Structure 1
Amino acid sequence: MLTNQLAQTYAQAIYEIAADKGMLDEVQSQLETIQETVSGHHDLNALLYHPLIPPQAKKETVTKIFTGELADFVSNFLLLLIDKRRETLLHAIISEYVKIANQTRNIAVAEVTTAKPLTDSQRDALTAKLSKVTGSQIILKLHVDEQILGGVVVKIGEKLIDGSIVRQLKSLKTALLSSDQTAV
């Protein structure tokens, strides 16, 4: 819980600076670049998150990698996290920043799971429908899971719409079992 609160606090701080400078998109892109770089390089990931490596060594490495790639305040933010030994919060902070920025832009991210990949026309129709229902611009994050058999499962924020065949079969089974027991 404390970790989530800290991530939200740091994310809100970097968001406010980015908003004041009119750099929401640029900062999001830079934060995502940091995340992809750290996640994509095992050695960098190990160095950054290892508790016994001194902050100065981490800061020197990060500075070398990201010099010229980040706005000064984003670079300073990253160095501050290292100084405060909060670098383990980096991914959570970036995730929270994206949530805050998307909320400001009236963008909702929809995690969509289907049994088979959607066609372009299905994606467009689903995006339009979800946009109409939510009143927000929709970004689809598509996943394929053959275990749902068919239908679609959509998660937007804390809301879950489960239209999968598996869920429908479970509901039918429950209904049949409960009606079978009442007949006895």
Structure 2
Amino acid sequence: MAGIIAKNYAQALFNIAVEEDKVELYKKELQEIKECIEENKELLKLMKHPGVMKSDKKGILRKLFECEEFIQNFLEILVDKGRFNHFGEICSEFLQEANKALNIELAEVTSATKLTEDELEGIRTLLEKRFNKTIELIEKIDKSCIAGVRVKIKDKVLDNTVAGRLRAIKEAAINSSKVVSGGDRGEFKTGRNQ
């Protein structure tokens, strides 16, 4: 049920964004609001709590977020309709539609340590050339990578981490040992007629 609700609200908002020629603006503002709410669990609990009056919830949103008037109204509609608990899903659905419309692809970049802005820009440039799209990077830190980077875009994974290379070597060693030890000795031919 929540999936349908999120899709319906997101689609309605996206249609208005297209009509108003504000897809990029709405995307930027919704992304900022979503990130802020996700980082502040107490705010999310407060917005979902049935004991807090709707007028108080709307007042909190007005104080916290200075955004385009229609986005502000949209947030208040979600409060009035008791749908704010679906806000994260609605944003995700809207952002997917907006990215399609703006020819943007998301790429997840994972490294053992935080990358510099120059390194991220180099990765973005390479990906934009390869995929012929505007690329937005989502940076993640994973110490198990050891060194190097792993990039996930759509269903493709480009793994240039030390951990990834070690895994590939291990898999190659396992596969080659299966061929050597598990093969049928009768399959080998000497090239001479026997």
Identify the TM-score tier after normalising by the shorter chain. Answer: 0.7 to 0.9
Does structure 1 residue 29 correspond to structure 2 residue 28? yes
Q: Under a length normalisation based on structure 1, what TM-score does the superposition of the two structures give? A: 0.79
Letter in 2 for 1:170: R
Q: Residue 33 of structure 1: CA displacement? A: 4.1
Distance in 2 (alpha carbons) for counterparts of 1:160 and 1:180: 26
State which structure, 1 or 2, has the greater radius of gyration over its C-alpha atoms.
Answer: 2
Which residue number in structure 2 is paired with residue 18 of structure 1? 17
Q: Relative to 1, partners in 2 of residues 1:4 and 1:178: Cα closer, same or farther, differing over 3 Å?
A: same
Counterpart CA distance in 1 for 2:158 and 2:4 is: 28
| Superposed counterparts of 1:5-154, under 5 Å | 5-39=4-38, 41=40, 43-63=42-62, 65-66=64-65, 69-154=66-151
Distance 1:161 1:59, change over 3 A: same
Q: Which amino acid aligns with 1:183?
A: S
Determine which of 181, 184, 192 is the counterpart of 1:183. Answer: 181
Point out where structure 2 has 5 or more consecutive residues left out of the alignment.
Answer: 183-194
The letter for the 2-side match of 1:48 is: M
1:63 deviates by 4.5
Question: Corresponding residue for 2:165?
Answer: 168
CA RMSD of aligned residues (A): 2.7
* Number of residue equivalences: 181
CA distance in 2, matches of 1:161, 1:3: 34
Tell me: CA distance 1:143–1:180, structure 2 relative to 1, closer, same or farther (3 Å).
Answer: same
Any unmatched runs of 5+ in structure 1?
A: none
State the shift of 1:79 in Å: 2.0
Which deviates more, 102-111 or 139-148?
Answer: 139-148
Q: Which amino acid in the other structure matches residue 106 of structure 2?
A: V
Distance (Å, rounded) in 1 between the aligned partners of 2:169 and 2:93:
39
How far apart in 2 are the matches of 1:118 and 1:137? 20
Amino acid at match of 1:109: L
CA distance in 2, matches of 1:8, 1:47: 24
Q: 1:110 to 1:73 in 2, by over 3 A?
A: same
Say which SS state the counterpart of residue 152 (structure 2) adopts.
strand
Shift of 1:88: 1.1
TM-score normalised by structure 2 residue count:
0.76
% of aligned pairs identical?
A: 31
User: Aligned equivalents of 2:168 and 2:77: distance in 1?
Assistant: 51
Q: What code does the residue aligned with 1:76 have?
A: N
